[in-house]
Structure 1
Amino acid sequence: MQETYKGNKQILFLSTLAFFVSVMVWFNMAPFNSTIMEQLGLTKEEVGVLMLVNLALAIPARIVMGQLVDRFGPKKVFSLLLVVMSIPCFTFALANSYWQLLISRLLLGIIGASFVVGIRMIAEWFPQNKSGFMHGIYAGWGNFGSALASFTLPLIALWVGEENGWRYAIAMTGVISLIYGFIYYRSVEDAPPMKEFKRSKSAKGMKATSFVDLIILVAAYFPIYGGLAVLIWSLQRTSLLTLEWAIGLYVLLGVLYMHRAVKIALENRAYLMTEIPIPEKYSMKQVAVLSLAYFSAFGAELAVISMLPMFFQETYALGSIGAGMIASSFAFTNLIARPAGGWMSDQFGRKKVLMILLFLLSILYFGMSFLSGHWPLALAVLLTMSCSMVGQAASGSVFSMVPFIKKNNTGQIAGMVGAYGNIGSVCFLAVLNLMYPAAFFSVIGAGAFLCFIFSCFIKEPSLHALERQKVSRGA
């Protein structure tokens, strides 16, 4: 028993570190937005598009990664992802044109799907009564990689002391990702000893267990394509795409969505005509509501992390190092807040905790909309950290519920919920490209309040539901 617990802790540490490295690579551009804009002669709108594309492909990638991890296991998927994603990291560091930066950043967004892989790994290695807390540790400490990037990469660039210091700093994160991919593969297993890893029979998408759930599932895929449409609109708005190309891509996205909808309907039609065993049933409405809650909580965090260094530079006339250090406080709270959100959900009720946190989050983001250079810097940092604390705790609360929906589809459900986090970030950054930061924060606050209302429809996981999952796993 003691050896098993030791193995659990080792898996938690190694998986959290893998996600930490992924996030560090994912957000290694944020501290250098102003530097890259100045050296390569970019406009503020072009930098905004780079921030947007950095998040875009994580949307479909999280769906696909969820399917792959349920089919092939987190060990192989996480390791391969870390190794492959080092390549666009290197090409970004070497880029000399805007298109090279754009394509590299677009591909790097795929590494944001790494979050989904670890969710399935942690779910396999820890019991249900510790699910929220352990997933909170994984996500909270893993997301701290963005804070490390904001805090340390400018120092590394300064230490190099050349105008290309930012290139060396970003390339270094690619080297770390490449090396750790091999370390992770040699150090972990998909499930504890004497426990079978329940794989999906194929890498196909989720199945609905009622006709109402089928409608919800088809509708849930629409924002995924909508998030990509926002990206196309942003590219067209900054003249990187002509109107004709944009219209053609909109049509293509529409066709792809219709194809996906028809495919889901055909795959589920025969399945729904059979008698579905009780252990196989789960609520798609639960998935949809949690997805919207994550859209608001984590989507806002990603968007704010991307813009906060530049925001503090412009609002308080700070240098890149000072702004990066202050902005890192937004992600620093991950270390405590996300595990705390999971722990509170385990102890005091998942639905109640999530509703309270979403309501508080809406108030705090409305408060952020009033930030200006007239505020004392210390007060601005305090409000920023408070906003991050509550948002991260809400994200932890969301994923404290995900593993309880359907065990052997945890990866796919986490992929859907996680994708909505990226959809939220893309949508919020698109708002930022259209409006001033004050309106940007107000929109996030309004979204959090709407999700607070939606969270009323969440059902608290019952003991009966947990027992049903045990039966389905053969426990």
Structure 2
Amino acid sequence: MNAEKFNLLSFTGKMKTLHLSWMAFFITFVVWFNMAPLKEAIVDGVGLTLSEWKTLLIINVALTIPARVLIGSLTDKFGPRLVYSTLLAICSIPCFAFALADSFEQLLIARFAMGCIGAGFVVGIRMVSEWFPPKELGTAEGVYGGWGNFGSAAAAFSLPTIALLFGGENGWRYAIGITGCMSLIFSFIYYKNTTDTPKGSTYFRPKNLGGLEVTSVKDFYFLLLMKTPMYLALALLNWKLSPNGVSLLTDEVVVIIYAALVVLYVFDVYKTYQVNKDVFVTPVPDIHKYEFKQVAVLNILYFATFGSELAVISMLPAFFAETFSLNMATAGLLAGMYAFMNLMSRPGGGLISDKFGRKPTLLILTAGLALGYFAMSFIDVTWPIWLAVIVVMACSFFVQSGEGAVFAVVPLIKRRLTGQIAGMTGAYGNVGAVVYLTIYSLVETSTFFLVIAGTAVLGFVALLFMKEPSGTITEVREDGSVELINVT
């Protein structure tokens, strides 16, 4: 680990890596959420129905579920430098395709593929964990997540204005095309200016890419249980696109997709068993063990925190516009205040975790976000706009601080599996988004906020079973020597 001081004004050593990583994450979020602020222009320009628009919102987060798991595995195996750079370059292609689309079907395909860019987050989690010691890790991950996450707010603030500057019915196309150019250009900048670890440090890699390693038979079955909601979320999306939803897919295609998900789940179980079959025969030494329940609790918390953020960011501009009769630019600006809090809230959550403990911080923040969404459920046309914005910003503080606190724990579980753990936890955020956005399409907005508050309460209960990280992580170098990595 680099021993230099934590100085956000520095652009050398570990701080350079941190800054370049949050910039990469920032761009992925600008690209990922470049659609919501331009709703009116896209709907009018392409001639979409409200149902088709809501379908695009859901499809935007669908592929990110398996993508985060896959990208997490690739990061652990090949290193974050290569994976992040490649992802930024490849995902610029569907971004350009979306900007050029002139039908709902073309928008849908491009948006589905663009969901992969949402997996970029997990790459930086592993990168930052390689460069910062435990006493700074929560703060560093919080800066990475918070400043990068601000990309969604930047999109809300800037893209409507950029579209208006270009003017005409194609202004939104130019705005979205610019975000694709940003992604492509920065892929080369990131590759040229980063390394996976500080000089002299070891980059620990998993044994294989087949699945997440666990260290007991009980945890193997627990892992299979926690995989199930990810497939159910994809099945839920399939239902949404079926004749029972927006009728985009025929009954025959829907059945084929359901069958494919079952086959894929069975294959996933098989590959996971291949990775972990030794635990059924030979007990894992205590020094190499980790408890999978730590991962499971973080998954549930990220479902409630990041899942709700994704869903709320997607619907909030339209909510403000419709509730308070605002134009597109003004509604996008006010809704962006929710994501604006990421600049301080997520780093704040990580910093508090570093100072006062991971579990106590998460307990307080989870309780706060439950109360925040409960308060948001009462917002209606009778409220003054300034009060609605204050309530939204207060809620977002707890949501995003909670996200920072979650990923202050993730790198402290098992170093060589950090990408995979971050991928699974991150995927649960997208599972939450799919579930919440589906609920949003079926119920009143006030009920939607109450549902999120209820799941936050469930997350609080699950958190009671998590252990505060302590001691060391044991990893084995390629030469067979053992390294003990402090987590406190």
TM-score computed with the length of structure 1 as normaliser: 0.97
Could you tell me which of 73, 76, 79 is aligned with 1:73? Answer: 79
Residue 414 of structure 1 aligns with which residue?
422
2:198 pairs with 1:188: no
One-letter identity of the residue aligned with 2:483: R
List per-residue Cα deviations over 1:428-469 (Å, max 9, x = no partner): 00001111111111110101111111110010012x2x2646
Q: How many residues align?
A: 473
Shift of 1:41: 1.6
Contact 1:94 1:167 (8 Å CA) reproduced: yes
Partner of 2:46: 40
Alpha-carbon offset, residue 203 of structure 1: 2.1
C-alpha displacement of 1:39: 2.0
Q: Is the 8 A contact 1:136 1:396 kept in 2?
A: yes
What secondary structure does 1:461 align onto?
coil
Q: In structure 1, what is the equivalent of residue 9 of structure 2?
A: none
Partners of 1:350 and 1:128 in 2: how far apart?
Answer: 12
Opposite residue 282 of structure 2, the aligned amino acid is T
* Cα distance in structure 2, aligned partners of 1:125 and 1:403: 12
Q: Does 1:136 align with 2:136?
A: no
Question: Could you tell me how far apart the structure 2 residues matched to 1:22 and 1:331 are?
Answer: 15
Matched, 1:349 2:349: no
For residues 443 and 131 of structure 2, the distance between their equivalents in structure 1, rounded to whole angstroms, comes to 45
Cα displacement string for residues 313-337 of structure 1 (whole angstroms, at most 9, x for unaligned residues): 1001101100010011000000000
Supply the RMSD in Å over aligned alpha carbons. Answer: 1.5
CA distance in 2, matches of 1:433, 1:57: 19
- The answer for unaligned runs of 5 or more in structure 1 is none
Cα distance change on mapping 1:467 and 1:175 into 2, 3 Å: closer
Task: After superposition, give the CA deviation of every residue in 1:123-153 in whole Å (9 maximum; x if it has no partner).
Answer: 0000011111100000000000000100001
User: Deviation at 1:372?
Assistant: 0.5
Equivalence for 1:298: 306
Match of 1:167 in 2: 173
Contact 1:79 1:185 in 2 (8 A): yes
> Can you give the 5+ residue segments of structure 2 that lack an aligned partner in the other structure?
7-11
Query: What is the correspondence of 1:5-24 to structure 2 with a 5 Å cutoff?
Result: 6-24=12-30
AA at the equivalent of 2:112: L
Asked if residue 425 in structure 1 is aligned to residue 414 in structure 2, the reply is: no
| Structure 2 SS opposite 1:274 | coil
Tell me how far apart the structure 1 counterparts of residues 193 and 3 of structure 2 sit (CA, whole Å): 19
Which secondary structure does the structure 2 equivalent of 1:154 belong to? helix
Q: Distance in 2 between the 1:18 and 1:387 partners?
A: 26
| Most deviating of 49-58 and 2-11 | 2-11
How far apart are 1:62 and its partner, in Å? 0.5
Aligned residues of 1:4 and 1:192 also touching (Cα < 8 A):
no
Choose which of 373, 378, 390 in structure 2 pairs with 1:382.
390
| 3-state SS, counterpart of residue 441 of structure 2 | helix
Do the aligned partners of 2:25 and 2:121 also contact (CA within 8 Å) in 1? yes
| 2: CA distance, partners of 1:255 / 1:2 | 49
1:148 and 2:158 matched: no
Contact map agreement 1:280 1:472 (CA 8 A) in 2: no
Instruction: Give the conservation status (yes or no) of the 8 Å contact 2:436–2:452.
Output: yes
- 1:267 deviates by 3.1
Contact 1:279 1:472 in 2 (8 A): no
1:259-305 Cα offsets, whole Å, 9 max, x none, are 21233234322244124233321111110111000000110000000
Q: Distance in 1 between matches of 2:287 and 2:410?
A: 16
1:104 alignment partner in structure 2: 110
TM-score scaled by structure 2? Answer: 0.94
Give how far 1:163 is off.
1.1
State the SS of the aligned residue for 1:378. Answer: helix
Using the alignment, how far apart are the partners of 1:368 and 1:83 within structure 2? 38
Q: Is the 8 A contact 1:52 1:430 kept in 2?
A: yes
Output the CA distance in 1 between the equivalents of 2:388 and 2:349: 23
Check 1:337–1:4 CA distance in 2 against 1; reply closer, same or farther (3 A cut): closer
More helix by share: 1
CA contact (8 A) 1:292 1:420 kept: yes
Q: Distance in 2 between matches of 1:37 and 1:415?
A: 33
In 1: Cα distance, 2:482 partner to 2:164 partner: 55
1:430-449 equivalent positions in 2, closer than 5 A: 430-449=438-457
